[in-house]
Amino acid sequence: MTTRNRLGLAAALVAFAAAAFAPQAQAQAQAFPTKPVRWVVGYPAGGGTDFLARTAGAQLAQQLGQPVLVDNRPGAGAIIASENVARSPGDGYTVFSADNGVLVYNPALYKKLPYDAEKDFAMVGMMGRSTLVITAAPNAGLADAKALIAALKASPGKYSIATPGTGSPHHLALELFQREAGVSLLHVPYKGGAPALQDLMGGQVPLMMLDLPSGVSAVKAGKVVPLMTMGAERIPQLPNVPTAKELGYAGVEAYTWQGLVVPAATAKDVQARLGADLQKTMADAGVRQKLFDAGWEARPADGVEMARFVDAERKKWHALIKARDIKLD
């Protein structure tokens, strides 16, 4: 057989294999999903992230036509869950609630991680965010934001402020606020938001950087006093509470936010299916109302928009982490 004939035969075999495989791949894409989808959450059941996942997951299950089962894997600032997802098969049956910590903060705070935030995940879409709020204990003697600023200016370093932990969105929002406002507070990191909130309500700590989903019931009951929000505009749940920007600190904007990701090896068509159904889920009026009542703001965006947003967040917060010399190892 001549060289030309051998090349022609090889090309024919490649074309035959491609033609044979194409219907199979198309059938697999059309079939997805054929079994339950596992939704990994890096925090305990009952928290704000868990609530969002279960609320959205229930509606997403209707879109997919398969159960969506929440798998809580708490610990180490969601690093345990992140590693689990990064090592999971890229078949579309594992999705993950990825937040600021997973995708933005941890890579700048730790020298070594068991996952690569930029390479191990593919972004499906944004889901929601919550504006961070500086709150006071009822016995702190701080009635509003102006009283807070006056007290902080008069007594640098005197006031303690709780957060759910070092390196959390709450802590980094605090660092941003201190830098922009030119004030100094004593940071008291807790192991989670629940014990910090308990001490705030009990008056053991005068201030807390709070995410609304963790403390919406306490705020509604008057057990804590919301003083100032960290968002770009006032939030509907707290219409009478001013933003830091309104008080003259234009550089202060901070949220906790959640997006959905899958292992990077997940097929593009499966990512597209999940993304489209996630968009429908987050547009559902019932889902949006439940999230609003729990302190969340539905902020859907597709995977491309999410990637742009995360890139901008990395640039902003990595610079702050470096400037404030914040490290976790």
The residue-averaged pLDDT of 98-118 equals: 97
Of the pLDDT bands very low, low, confident and very high (cuts 50, 70, 90), residue 329 is: confident
**What percent of the chain lies above the pLDDT cut of 70?**
91
| DSSP, res 250 | T
pTM across the whole model: 0.87
Q: Indicate if the pLDDT at residue 17 is higher than 60.
A: no
CA atoms within 13 A on the CB side of 289: 3
Residues 6+ apart with CB under 8 A from 207: 134, 135, 136, 137, 140, 142, 148, 159, 160, 161, 162, 185, 200
Nearest-10 crossing angle of helices 193-202, 212-220: 30
Q: Range with the lowest mean pLDDT among 9-23, 46-60, 282-296?
A: 9-23
- pLDDT of res. 31: 87
Q: What pLDDT, in 10s, does the model give residues 216-254?
A: 999 999 999 999 999 999 999 999 999 999 999 999 999
* pLDDT class of 21 with cuts at 50, 70, 90: very low
Which pLDDT value is given to residue 144? Answer: 95
Instruction: Give dist(CA 300, CA 60) in Å, integer.
Output: 13
To the nearest whole percent, how much of the chain has pLDDT over 90?
A: 88
Q: Average pLDDT, stretch 254-282? A: 97
* Mean pLDDT, residues 308-317 taken together: 98
Closest by CA to 180, choosing from 143, 211, 147, 152, is 152
Please say whether the beta carbons of 55 and 213 come within 8 A. no
Whether 163 contacts 189, CB under 8 Å: yes
Which residues contact residue 101 at a Cβ distance below 8 angstroms, ignoring those fewer than 6 apart? 77, 78, 167, 168, 169
| Residue linked to tokens 């919550």 | 130
pLDDT in tens, 165-207: 999 999 999 999 999 999 999 999 998 899 999 999 999 999 9
Q: Output the CA–CA distances (angstroms, integers) from residue 316 to 100, 165, 183, 243, in the order listed.
A: 12, 20, 20, 19
Check residue 165 and report its DSSP letter.
S
pLDDT band at 43 (very low <50, low <70, confident <90, very high): very high
